[in-house]
């Protein structure tokens, strides 16, 4: 009974060891007696003889390599930065990558190509450019240069991202002072613009008052003045207050008797 149980367990072990699961986001490459099969194995269960063959699984999703590097600048300075390299393996090229490069392709190819491309591209730019809007241009140029070398070998470089850039202390202070000066200049320009607008408003207001006075002066003809005097006499005559009116027949002068 014990022998049967032992044989049963051995048989189950052989069956389970001969079944490999290739998961989503990866492909499998079969190696039999030391030779790689060029056919790519898609996700799913795969039967294999564990004594003479094995399945090597390789990821085909987007991978992120994060490295720290010192980038040279046009003026000869070294700028420390953390760089993220986003890439993925072309599924159909997985057997070729395993055959020609090996499983350690990140260290052998990708990081080496990056260091060369980054040194070539960054040396065309000033150190301050890596900390400004030019950073996107630098990232794009490095990505394109890496793609020229890596795409034919089975790698799609999706992006190169420069992060945590640390400028040399002297240059960093100079950049800060420049930014502060630009902010001060913008603030002063804002104040000057506000004063110009206020002066323009006052000028328009004064011009409006002048035009109004001019219109009023032009409209005060002799007949209008007489008519307004007549209206003033009418209003005074209708007032219940005691008053003395002294006039030469043209303009009234009012003496209020109610205040006595």
pLDDT per residue of the chain (260 residues) written in tens, 0 to 9: 556 555 444 444 544 556 788 889 999 999 888 888 989 999 988 878 777 888 889 999 999 999 998 888 888 888 889 999 999 999 999 999 999 999 999 999 999 999 999 999 999 998 888 878 889 999 999 999 999 999 999 999 999 999 888 876 665 455 556 655 666 677 778 778 888 888 888 888 888 887 777 766 666 566 666 666 667 666 666 666 655 665 555 554 444 444 44
Helix (H, G, I), strand (E, B) or coil at 72: strand
Cα angle value 173/175/181 (rounded, 5°): 105
Residue with tokens 């150190």: 127
Burial of 105 by CB count in 10 Å (0-12 exposed, 13-18 middle, 19+ buried)?
A: buried
pLDDT in tens, 184-205: 677 778 778 888 888 888 888 8
Whole-number Å distance between alpha carbons of 149 and 89: 14
**Helix orientation angle between 135-150 and 111-122, rounded to the nearest 10 degrees:** 140
* Residue 2 burial (10 A CB sphere; 0-12, 13-18, 19+): exposed
* Residue 100, phi-psi category: left (phi > 0), alpha (psi -120 to 50), beta (remainder): alpha
Residue 259 DSSP SS3? coil
CA–CA distances in Å: residue 118 to residues 53, 72, 81, 172, 215: 41, 8, 11, 21, 75
Q: How many residues does the chain have?
A: 260
Specify the pTM: 0.59
53 to 17, 37, 50, 119, 217: CA distances (angstroms): 11, 10, 5, 43, 111
- Element holding 139 (H helix, E strand): helix 135-150
Sheet with 155-166, edge to edge strand ranges:
63-72, 78-89, 155-166
Q: What pLDDT was estimated at residue 129? A: 85
- pLDDT tens track for 4-22: 555 444 444 544 556 788 8
pLDDT for 155: 96
Query: Among residues 90, 208, 76, which one has the least CA distance to residue 155?
Result: 90
Give the domains, in start order, of the chain with CATH numbers: 2-59 (no CATH), 63-167 (3.30.479.30), 232-260 (no CATH)
């Amino acid at each position: 009974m014990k022998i049967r149980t032992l044989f049963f367990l051995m048989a189950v072990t052989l069956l389970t060891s001969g079944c490999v699961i290739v998961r989503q986001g990866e492909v499998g490459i079969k190696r039999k007696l030391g030779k790689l099969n060029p056919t790519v194995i898609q996700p799913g269960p795969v039967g294999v003889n564990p004594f003479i063959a094995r399945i090597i699984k390789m990821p085909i999703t987007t991978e992120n390599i994060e490295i720290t590097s010192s980038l040279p600048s046009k003026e000869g300075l070294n700028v420390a930065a953390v760089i993220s390299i986003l890439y993925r393996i072309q599924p159909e090229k997985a057997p070729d990558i395993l055959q020609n490069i090996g499983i350690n392709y990140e260290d052998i190819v990708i990081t080496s190509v990056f260091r060369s491309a980054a040194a070539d591209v960054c040396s065309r730019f000033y150190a301050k450019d890596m900390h400004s809007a030019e950073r996107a241009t630098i990232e794009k140029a490095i990505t394109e240069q890496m793609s020229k070398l890596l795409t034919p070998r089975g790698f799609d470089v999706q992006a190169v991202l420069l992060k945590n850039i640390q400028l040399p202390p002297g240059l960093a202070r100079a950049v800060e002072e420049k930014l502060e000066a630009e902010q001060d200049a913008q603030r002063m320009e804002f104040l000057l613009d506000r004063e110009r607008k206020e002066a323009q408003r006052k000028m328009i207001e004064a011009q409006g008052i002048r035009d109004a006075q001019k219109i009023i002066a032009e409209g005060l003809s002799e007949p209008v003045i007489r008519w307004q005097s007549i209206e003033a006499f009418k209003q005074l005559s209708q007032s219940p207050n005691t008053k003395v009116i002294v006039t030469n027949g043209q303009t009234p002068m009012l003496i209020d008797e109610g205040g006595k």
